[in-house]
């Protein structure tokens, strides 16, 4: 991982799934916010591994993903996700991989646990009757503050985004995390610019644009299916 929001403090560097994970947690309670954000984390994971040259989109069909390098990434979560994709095999659709990983709670939990180890989040056990879960409120607000400031400069200002910025904004937009983290009026006023950034046309190469679009579509489909099932069941 080479990019950071603060060149004076490399500890503030965040990979793509970490960025989505931070935006998806309420700062004080640590509860999830947004809609089906696990699928956005899964989609961000695919793109991160593509950018780290562990995965690639198929030359003939950009909606399919090939595993090209299984060497360690030096990140526990990314290594576990890469091993999961390797078990699935090359040539699977982005939609299939996003849906599969998005449902693997134990694997996705490693993202939050990694942020806990770095002192960015803290783990708080919760329980009700026979149910138990863990919330992850902020322990150190600086990384998320830096992330939000960085994204605001891109969406509402004139800063040029890089590949990871486009992916974060695209996925956060699809699962309602922009609305949870930024002023709604500013989002409305800069709607077209955000749309252009989310499409990847602002700063990405053609091959990366195809990958981002395929994975963005995969996230939308993966998040839509459980929503439709839940709606049908309640009806």
Residues with Cβ within 8 Å of residue 116, at least 6 apart in sequence: 122, 123, 136, 139
Among 157, 115, 152, 159, CA closest to 135: 115
SS3 52: coil
Range in 31-35, 84-88, 150-154, 229-233 the model is least confident about: 229-233
Helix (H, G, I), strand (E, B) or coil at 10: helix
pLDDT exceeds cutoff 70 at 208? no
Q: CA-to-CA distance for 234 and 7, rounded, in angstroms?
A: 50
The pair of structure tokens assigned to 50 is 């593509």
For range 193-213, the mean pLDDT = 71
Highest mean pLDDT among 27-31, 134-138, 207-211: 134-138
Share the mean pLDDT of the chain.
Answer: 84
Give the pLDDT confidence score for residue 66 in this predicted structure: 93
pLDDT digits (tens, 9 = 90+) for 6-31: 444 544 589 999 999 999 998 888 78
Burial 150-176 (b: 16+ CB within 10 A, else e): bbbebbbeeeebebbbbbbbbbbbbbb
- Output the pLDDT for position 207: 59
Residue 32 pLDDT level (bands cut at 50, 70, 90): confident
Q: Which residues contact 107 (CB under 8 A, 6 or more apart)?
A: 77, 80, 81, 84, 101
Q: Check whether 214 has a pLDDT greater than 80.
A: no
158 vs 19, which has greater pLDDT? 19
Higher pLDDT among residues 206 and 173, named by residue: 173
Give the class (CATH, top level) of 10-234. Answer: mainly alpha
Question: Per-residue pLDDT for 228 more than 80?
Answer: no
CA pair distance 107, 180, nearest whole angstrom: 25
What is residue 32's DSSP assignment?
B
Give the pLDDT confidence score for residue 16 in this predicted structure.
95
What lies within 8 Å, CB to CB, of 55 at 6+ separation is: 46, 49, 65, 66, 67, 68, 82, 85
Q: For residue 206, is pLDDT > 90?
A: no
Give the integer Cα–Cα distance in Å for 122 and 100.
27
| CB atoms inside a 10 Å sphere around CB 65 | 29
211 vs 67: which has the higher pLDDT: 67
């Amino acid at each position: 991982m080479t990019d950071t929001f603060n060149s004076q403090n490399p500890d503030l560097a965040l990979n793509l799934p970490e960025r989505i994970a931070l935006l998806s947690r309420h700062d004080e309670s640590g509860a999830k916010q947004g809609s089906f954000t696990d699928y956005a984390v899964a989609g961000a994971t695919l793109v991160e591994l593509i950018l780290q040259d562990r995965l690639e989109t198929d030359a003939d069909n950009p909606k399919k993903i090939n595993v090209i390098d299984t060497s360690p990434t030096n990140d526990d979560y990314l290594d576990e996700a890469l091993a999961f994709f390797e078990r699935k095999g090359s040539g699977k659709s982005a939609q299939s991989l996003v849906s599969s990983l998005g449902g693997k709670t134990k694997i996705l939990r490693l993202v939050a646990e990694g942020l806990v180890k770095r002192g960015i989040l803290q783990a708080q056990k919760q329980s009700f009757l026979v149910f138990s879960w863990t919330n992850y409120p902020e322990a150190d607000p600086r990384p998320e503050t830096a992330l939000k400031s960085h994204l605001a400069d891109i969406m509402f200002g004139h800063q040029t985004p890089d590949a990871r910025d486009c992916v974060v904004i695209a996925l956060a937009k699809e699962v309602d995390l922009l609305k949870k983290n930024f002023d709604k009026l500013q989002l409305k006023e800069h709607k077209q610019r955000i749309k252009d950034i989310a499409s990847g046309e602002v700063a990405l190469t053609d091959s990366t644009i195809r990958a981002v679009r395929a994975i963005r579509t995969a996230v939308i489909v993966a998040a839509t299916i459980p929503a439709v099932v839940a709606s049908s069941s309640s009806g």
